[in-house]
Every structure is written in structure tokens, then in C-alpha cells.
Amino acid sequence: MPLALALPAATALLFLLLPLAGMIIRAPWADAAEVLTSRSALLALRLSLITATAAALITLVLGVPLAWLLARPSLPGVGVLRALVTVPLVLPPVVGGVALFSLLGRSGLLGRPLYAVTGFSFPFTPYAVVLAQVFVALPFLVLTVEGALRAADRRYEDAAATLGANPLHVFSHVTLPLVAPGIAAGAVLAWARALGEFGATITFAGNFPGTTRTMPLEVYLALETDPGAALLLSVLLLGASIFVLVLLRDRWFTRW
Amino acid sequence: MVHQVVAGASGLIADFLVRRGAFALDIQLHAAAGEVVALLGPNGAGKSTAVRALAGLLAIADGRIAVAGVTVADEGVHCPPYERPIGVVFQDYLLFPHLSVLDNVAFGPRTQGQSRHAARRIAAGWLERMAIAELASARPRSISGGQAQRVALARALATDPQLLLLDEPLAALDARTRLVVRSELRRHLADYSGAAVLVTHDPVDAAALADRLVVIESGHVVQSGSPAEVARRPRTDYVARLVGLNLLTGVASGHLVTLPGGGTVQLAKSAIGPAYVAFAPAAVALFARRPEGSPRNVWPGLVSSLEPHGAGVRVEVTGAPDAASSILAEITPAAVAELDIVPGSSMWVAVKASDIDIYPTVPP
């Protein structure tokens, strides 16, 4: 292997892995039990797991049909649509939070009439956390599933149609199972993105313990007051992410 | 969807036009119930397009398709594939990789509203008939090509279709498997009561499996008839090559046919008007010097190629009977050696008039 390639490749690898290793080494493991079972950490962890899972499920329900639509070869203007879907991917999450606030905040475009009619408004509720996470995670799922759909052999759908299956039946019984590994990968990515979401959450949902203070927010706060606790919480998040990746890889990624 | 019922019609009645970019497929295709029609043609002739149009996967631009008396495509009518009484065996079978062999075959009955249990029972029955019952729980990726072909046929037949479409069903198989699967397919097609259309580019498959051949070239039907008729009296160069005959076109007058290039062919019987002249390569003799005596047709020519063919050698001679024509001769390897034939050799070509078939260019 030429050195000109090996050197930057090794550097990249180290750059990705060393900070994680540093975090694990520097974490005050002696305090682990106390920090990780503290009320605020448990509240944040619980909120994070629940909201990230809810967000991942919502992106699945909404994102898979959108990916299916984008993968249609005959759809006009599909390039523009795909570009629009990609926007939240490149947008700074804080801007996403501001955008959500302007639409769904108590005085937002939709938020104001919603508040006027029901007395409910999203900001400072766990629902806002989920919305912020869906906003940033949806493109990950859509683009992953769309790629899987494009790579899949669409002639299986023809075969199913000649066997009497209508388009919805073809979608649920042939298309979905064929791209199941892609959907699983997209869902994992979306879940991981939702779990790590910070900017849009703090902007749109706020930072209230137990209702909107997710793990990343907890870590950020802890870093100012108790850096050791921040390290431990970060290691916990890292562990959760790796655990899910490994779990899903064995179950779905090598199914056939 | 309006289904127009055609009185007294069974099987397939199709006469349609399909456009794909610059390519147009314009064919007429009939297949009675119980009949197997082979759609034969070179690559790019439009065979697969025809299958997709019949299946409803492609919309027709004009014309009409009726299956078992029901119009499935006509002006303003386009039944989607899932509403047509059809079964399709695709070229590479397209067995669903995520389903077991049994559930692949049960897929059709399930969409027709059978319970999971009933659908699986029907599927098991078909696997039994195809002698592959032991594969029921196997995944398609783990079975052989010949087995996949049987599963694909079982899956297509399990919906009890009125029209069975087979798109190059043997093309994906190796030579030995092909022989076995062909004879099995022949038996299953004989048992099948609906109309069957078989697409192939292999004349042997077509002759072995079909009751009738329809030959298409560049989107048009160029010849149809029983395999024996087509093999005996080809009407295009493509068909002549397929069935291994020399074919010339000319105008007959009495015992003489005049070719466009000016050459003439002597006949044993008299004919009149535009006609095809056909004779087998084996009926062609080659001589180093102009032969004397009985053969009526003797032309000089140049050997352009030699190719082993079965136990003999096929020699292509250009410049005979005239500058614009060429003739295939089939001779023994011994004769090749004796005459010292190489590409470029000057030879005399002789064909007995009695070995030559003549038939009018306009079919009766």
C-alpha cells in the first residue's frame, strides 16, 4: 500500500478513535455508580431513550413512504424534492430549532392557532423534543431507504403484480421485505441521530429536567459544573450507540 | 374497470402496437386454449416487449388484447397486471429472495384471497407435481437453476391463469440441465389447459415446446406456422439460418428462377412469379473443377469460411449463384481435405434441381 494513502488513512482512523479512547481513559470510573444513578442522569437517560425511539418510529412511518416516492423512476421534479429533503441534513441544527419555533412556537404560524384552540403549545414539552429529533433524523432515514430502493431489483415488483398483487400489497409484501436491511440501517441511523440531537432541541424544546433535558443537554450542563460526570455520561451514550449498532447488525444486516 | 366480453373467444387474441422510444412493436398473436405458441426472434426483435405488453406491465399504444374472452387492453382500457388472468415465468425467474420456495408459490393464491393455510396447501400440491416437494422450506438463493425454473413455473401456474407467458424460460440454464428441464416443461405445458406464449431465441426450444411458431424481426411478424412448416419453408434469412437452410429470393418463370443479382436457378418443376428457393446445405456439392453431367445447377464461387458443424463441415461460398449471393454447403471433413479447401479457394458449387424447394413469396 502506498504511504501517501496509508498515512492519511491511519491519521483519519486515529482521529476518529483517539478522542473516544481519551474519553474512556479520563472518565472517573470510581464515581461511575454515583453519577450514573443520580436522579438527573436517570431522568435524562430515560427521556433520551423514549424520545429517540419515538422519533425513530415516526421517521419510519413517514420516511419510508417518502423514500418510496423519491425512488419512483417516473416522478417528475424528483431532483428538487430530494434536494429539499436533504436541507435539514446540512442545516445547522440550531437553525432547525429556530425554524420549528417559528412554525410551532406558541406564537408561531401554526402554533398560535393551535394554542388558541386547544391551549396546548409544543415548546418545553417532550413532544417538542421528539419533533426536533424527527426534523433532523428524517433525512437520514429517507436517503438510506431511497438508496436501498434504487439498488433493489424492481422487477420483483413486476413479478408480484403478475401474481395478482395490487400496488399496496406489492409494497408491503415484496418491496418492504426486499429493502428491510436498508430500512433497518436507516432506522438505526435516525435513532442515533435523534439520540445525539442537541441544537434543535435546546432551541425549540428548551432545557427542563425530566421533560426536555435529554442526555446531550445533561452532558453539556455537567461539563460546566462537573466535568467528570460529563465524561461518564458521554461514555454511557457511546455505549448505548455501539450496543444498538451491534445488536441490529447481527439481526438484520445479514439476514439473507 | 370495464371488462368487455367477447363471445365465443377463448385463449389469447392479441393485435397491438407498442412504442418504446424509436422502436415500435406491431404484432398479431393468437393462441387457442391448450395451444403453445412460440414467439421466436433475434435479440432486439421485441419479444420481451411483447410479453410485458401481454402481461400489462407495458401499456399498448393501439390495438387490443383479449384473454379468455375478456378484453384486458383496448382503446381507453388498460387492465393492470394484477387484474389479468395471467401467469408469467420470467427469464431469470425472479423468485422472491425473502420468501421460502413454498411461500413463493403460495404468493399468488394468497393475493387471490386464499387463507395462508389454503394457499400453502395449493403451493405444496404444485411443488409435488413439479417433483420438488423437498424444496418447500428452501430459500430461492440456495437452489439450482433447474429447480428455480420449476419453482417459477409452479408459482405462475398456482394462480390458475388463462394465459401463461414464458420469457426465455430455459435461457438461464446450462446445456445439460436445459435438456431435462425442456422435456419436463413440455410435459407440464401439455397438461396446461390455458393458452401459452413462449418467448425464445432458440429454434430447438421452440420446435420442441410449441405447437405453432410466430417469428418476429424488428417488431413485426415475418412468419408463422407449425414448427415443421417453418423449418421446411423459411421466409427470411434469419429463419433460414435458424433452421439451417439456404434461402434465395427471385422470380420464377417455368423451370427457371432469376435472382435480383442476375443469377439463375434451375428447378425440377415449373413455377411462376416471385418465389423463395430453399435447399439444404447437405444437398450442395463442391468441386475443384467444373463437373460434367447430371447436376443442373453449377456455379463458380469463392470459399469465405469453414466451420465444423456436427460430424461435417459447413463451407460458405460467396459469389454463387451470382455476385450478390452466397451458399452454405455441408461436406465431410474428408472432402475438405481431399479438395484442399481453405478460405479463398475457388470452387464449383453444384445443386441438383430435384433437391430444391420452391414456394411463392406471398403465403397462400
Range of the domain at B82: 12-238
Q: Which of B181, B212, B238 is the last residue of a domain?
A: B238
Task: Considering only residues A248 and A187, tell me which one the structure prediction assigns the higher pLDDT.
Answer: A187
pLDDT tens digits, one per residue of B88-138? 999 999 999 999 999 999 999 999 999 999 999 999 999 999 999 999 999
Of B94, B99, B112, nearest to A164 by CB-CB distance is: B112
Are β-strands B346-351 and B220-225 bridged in parallel, bridged antiparallel, or unpaired? unpaired
Average of per-residue pLDDT values in chain A: 90
Domain tally, chain B: 2
CB B59 within 8 A of CB B38: no
Q: Which CATH architecture has domain A32-253?
A: Orthogonal Bundle (1.10)
Cell numbers for B171:
435461457
Is residue A254 scored above 60 in pLDDT? no
Determine the residue of chain A that is closest to B92 in CA distance: A155
Residues B71 and B162 in one domain: yes
Chain A CA closest to residue B140: A256
Within-domain flag for B339: yes
Do both B289 and B186 map to the same domain?
Answer: no
Give the number of beta-carbon pairs within 8 Å between A and B.
64
Q: Are residues B250 and B293 in the same domain?
A: yes
Distance of CA B15 to the CA centre of its chain: 18
In a domain, B4, yes or no: no
Which residues of A fall within a CB distance of 8 Å from B97? 178, 256
Q: Give the separation between CA A126 and CA A211, rounded to whole angstroms.
A: 5
Vertex B269 angle, CA B264 and B271, to 5°: 70
Which of A156, A164, A173 minimises the CB distance to B94? A156
Q: Which pLDDT belongs to residue A255?
A: 47
Q: What is the ipTM of this complex?
A: 0.82
A254 touches chain B (CB under 8 A): no
**pTM of the predicted structure, to 2 decimals:** 0.81
B157, closest residue in chain A (CA to CA):
A163
Tell me, what CATH number does B174's domain have?
Answer: 3.40.50.300
Question: Which of B86, B87, B111 is facing A169, going by the closest CB pair?
Answer: B111
Domain end among B238, B253, B279: B238
Residue of B nearest to A156 (CA): B94
Q: Which residues of chain B have pLDDT under 50?
A: 1-8
**What's the grid cell of residue A224?**
460546566
Report whether B222 contacts B215 (CB < 8 A): yes
Boundary-marking domain end, from B238, B270, B289? B238
Of B87, B98, B107, the CB nearest to A256: B98
Name the residue among B31, B30, B34 with its Cα closest to residue B188: B34
- Domain spans of chain A, in order of start: 32-253
Chain B interface with A: residues with Cβ < 8 Å: 55-57, 80-82, 84, 86-88, 90, 94, 96-99, 107-108, 111-112, 139, 141, 155-156, 159
Q: What's the CATH number where B257 sits?
A: 2.40.50.100
Portion of chain A with pLDDT greater than 70, in percent: 96
Q: Do B176 and B59 fall within a single domain? A: yes
Q: Is A205 within 8 Å of A129 (Cβ atoms)?
A: yes
